[in-house]
């Protein structure tokens, strides 16, 4: 599996991550705080789902999703009610692959996690150039409610899209814990760890500290640490790569 992300693309993702929740953001994640913060932290799993970037396997806290039964597929325009059929025993979520290349915004309802009782949604602009692939994979879609068999996918009028959907269940591995008692790994249904998986501009895989992501303002670089939370192995860019300049030197 490819485990590198082009530095220029990483920087553009960083710029978008820094803009999430503001008027400048092109990828909007309308969900509980844990999902929003995990994007700001540069989670590889969420960046990969929305942009098509490579996702690194084997990180602590990663979620494995198992699908049930036959998929349901279709092509639609605008907001549509999609009938998935009866919910099978053991199903916890809906797995969707939604494809669009033109038009406006698409919004898919998603499940809450253990950290929140509210459902949410994920949305994106179909024509946004930051997305490397035309298909967005959503593995925590909201189950039909009230004993029903349908979900509603919202899209701007005139926006064409296709979907392949099936029911599924999931399980997550535990986060790691370093010598300082800090959790590290990827965000999942339980929330976010204190050190969140990220890829530095030099290709190194490590972790950004959530508290530093939350307090970061403006443009610049966040340190990417080893799982010990101390050793800096690279830098995660926040801002326009044409004006950021080179990242700080690493102490050997």
Q: Regarding predicted confidence, which is higher, 44 or 83?
A: 83
**How many residues does the structure list for the chain?**
252
Rg (CA), the chain: 18
The reported pLDDT for the residue numbered 191 is 83
The reported pLDDT for the residue numbered 187 is 84
The reported pLDDT for the residue numbered 43 is 47
Q: Regarding predicted confidence, which is higher, 103 or 8?
A: 103
The reported pLDDT for the residue numbered 238 is 84
The reported pLDDT for the residue numbered 208 is 93
- DSSP letter, residue 175: P
Render pLDDT for 197-224 as a digit per residue (tens, 0 to 9): 988 889 899 999 999 988 888 888 999 9
Render pLDDT for 62-101 as a digit per residue (tens, 0 to 9): 888 889 888 999 999 999 999 999 999 999 999 999 999 8
The reported pLDDT for the residue numbered 6 is 36
Work out the pLDDT band at 250, boundaries 50, 70, 90: confident
| Per-residue CA distances from 150 to 30, 77, 166 (Å) | 21, 17, 12
Work out the pLDDT band at 108, boundaries 50, 70, 90: very high
Work out the pLDDT band at 233, boundaries 50, 70, 90: very high
> Is the predicted pLDDT of residue 27 greater than 50, yes or no?
no
**Beta-sheet pairing, 183-185 with 195-199:** parallel
Q: Which residues contact 244 (CB under 8 A, 6 or more apart)?
A: 11, 219, 220, 221, 237
The reported pLDDT for the residue numbered 42 is 43
Percent of the chain topping pLDDT 90: 40
Render pLDDT for 126-170 as a digit per residue (tens, 0 to 9): 988 766 678 988 888 999 988 999 999 999 999 999 999 999 998
Residue 78 is inside which H or E element, if any? none
Report the DSSP beta bridge partners of residue 109: 121
How much is the average pLDDT of 239-245?
Answer: 78
CA angle 220/224/229 to nearest 5° reads 130
What structural domains and CATH numbers belong to the chain? 7-62+173-244 (no CATH), 63-172 (2.60.120)
State the CB neighbour count (10 A cutoff) for residue 114: 11
């Amino acid at each position: 599996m490819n485990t590198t992300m082009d530095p220029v693309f990483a920087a553009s993702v960083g710029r978008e991550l820094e803009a999430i929740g503001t008027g400048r953001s092109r990828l909007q994640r309308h969900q509980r705080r844990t999902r929003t913060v995990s994007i700001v932290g540069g989670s590889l799993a969420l960046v990969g789902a929305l942009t098509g970037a490579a996702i690194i396997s084997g990180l602590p806290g990663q979620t494995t999703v198992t699908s049930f039964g036959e998929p349901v597929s279709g092509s639609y325009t605008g907001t549509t009610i999609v009938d998935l059929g009866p919910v099978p025993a053991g199903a916890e979520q809906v797995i969707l692959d939604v494809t669009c290349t033109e038009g406006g915004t698409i919004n898919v309802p998603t499940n809450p996690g253990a950290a929140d009782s509210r459902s949410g949604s994920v949305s994106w602009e179909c024509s946004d150039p930051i997305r490397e692939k035309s298909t967005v994979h959503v593995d925590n879609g909201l189950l039909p409610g009230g004993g029903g068999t349908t979900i509603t996918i919202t899209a701007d009028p005139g926006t064409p899209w296709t979907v392949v959907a099936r029911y599924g269940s999931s399980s997550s591995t535990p986060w790691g814990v370093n010598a300082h008692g800090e959790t590290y790994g990827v965000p999942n249904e339980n929330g976010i760890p204190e050190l969140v998986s990220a890829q530095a501009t030099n290709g190194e895989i490590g972790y950004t500290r959530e508290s530093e992501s939350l307090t970061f303002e403006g443009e610049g670089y966040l340190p990417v640490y080893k799982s010990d939370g101390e050793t800096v192995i690279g830098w995660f860019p926040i801002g326009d790569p044409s004006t950021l300049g080179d990242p700080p030197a690493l102490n050997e």
